[in-house]
């Protein structure tokens, strides 16, 4: 089935000149960084892994982009906010791709998810991206526009009992994207919410068992860039998950609850 554009597509799409990418040392973030690297463009690359950050910065710099790199832990929210203001003062971002994220699940042997990991998930998956998105919009509005791209997950739409913290953090991100879009659109800020299914990254590779409709990092990056180029408000991919998103609305609540409770997961 041919991939279609997401809902509410705009054709007003100037090419970004200065892009912040968080999670640039991860699979999707690194692939996006490489694909966006070109002469005349500034890439602000943030990541936790110093060695991976050095390598991806070298690759992108070799493709002609001006690179500003920063090793950073987004769980330290105030540090991240201060870092954004410093980097934006130099580069004047016209697009931010907020893709850093953590995942964790409750395995069959666990009573609950690890409370410490729940805290980390909330900080990295929700608090940091919405804070940075707001800071970016605040800086972009006087410049007459920009794009805020929030990379979430299809798990935002499902109450996964083995992954309550992760799915709820992504649900919060999706809700923020919808609200921020309404609040900022008249100021020229495009808010794009990306909700991928399983992508072949280290995060997914930790999970045991079947990963339905698995997408390569390369194809995920291409789909995300297409959504950004066309200013799609919401991009759910691959297409099978869009169909499931529509179909599950027709399922009675009691049956939906039963199905979700029956799902089991484990990780390495």
**Rounded to an integer, what distance in angstroms lies between the CA atom of residue 197 and that of residue 204?**
10
Q: Structurally, what CATH architecture does the domain formed by 18-267 represent?
A: 3-Layer(aba) Sandwich (3.40)
Residue 2 has a pLDDT of 43
Mean pLDDT of 113-124: 92
Mean pLDDT of 3-23: 73
At 1, is the pLDDT very low, low, confident or very high (cuts 50, 70, 90)?
very low
Helices (H), 37-145: 50-62, 77-91, 115-121, 128-140
The DSSP-derived string for 184-200 is HGGGTEEEEEEEE--BS
Instruction: Say which range, 56-70, 97-111, 232-246, has the weakest mean pLDDT.
Output: 97-111
Which two tokens mark 189?
A: 């800020």
Peptide bond into 238 cis (omega under 30): yes
Query: Is residue 196 within 8 Å of residue 219, measured between CB atoms?
Result: no
Q: At what angle do helices 27-36 and 50-62 cross, to 10 degrees?
A: 20
For the chain, the domains span 18-267
| Residue 13, CA distances (Å) to 32, 52, 147 in order | 18, 31, 10
């Amino acid at each position: 089935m041919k991939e279609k554009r997401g809902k509410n597509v705009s054709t007003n799409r100037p090419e970004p000149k200065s892009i912040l990418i968080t999670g640039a040392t991860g699979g999707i973030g690194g692939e996006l960084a490489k694909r966006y690297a070109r002469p005349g463009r500034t890439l602000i690359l943030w990541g936790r892994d110093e060695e991976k950050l050095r390598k991806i910065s070298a690759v992108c710099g070799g493709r002609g982009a001006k690179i500003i790199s920063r090793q950073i832990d987004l769980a330290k929210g105030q540090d991240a906010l201060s870092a954004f203001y410093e980097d934006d003062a130099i580069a004047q971002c016209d697009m931010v791709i907020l893709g850093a994220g953590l995942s964790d699940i409750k395995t069959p042997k666990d009573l609950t998810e690890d409370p410490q990991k729940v805290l980390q998930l909330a900080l990295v998956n929700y608090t940091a991206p919405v804070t940075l998105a707001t800071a970016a919009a605040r800086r972009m509005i006087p410049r007459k526009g920009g794009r805020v791209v929030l990379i979430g997950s299809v798990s935002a739409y499902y109450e996964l009992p083995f992954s309550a913290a992760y799915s709820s953090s992504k649900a919060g991100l999706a809700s923020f994207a919808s609200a921020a879009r309404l609040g900022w659109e008249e100021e020229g800020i495009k808010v794009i919410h990306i909700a991928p299914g399983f992508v072949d990254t280290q995060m997914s590779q930790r999970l045991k068992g079947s990963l339905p409709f698995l997408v390569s990092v390369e194809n995920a990056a291409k789909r995300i860039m297409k959504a950004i180029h066309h200013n799609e408000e919401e991009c759910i991919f691959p297409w099978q998950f869009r169909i499931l998103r529509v179909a599950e609305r027709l399922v009675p609540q009691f049956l939906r609850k039963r199905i979700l409770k029956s799902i089991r997961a484990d990780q390495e």
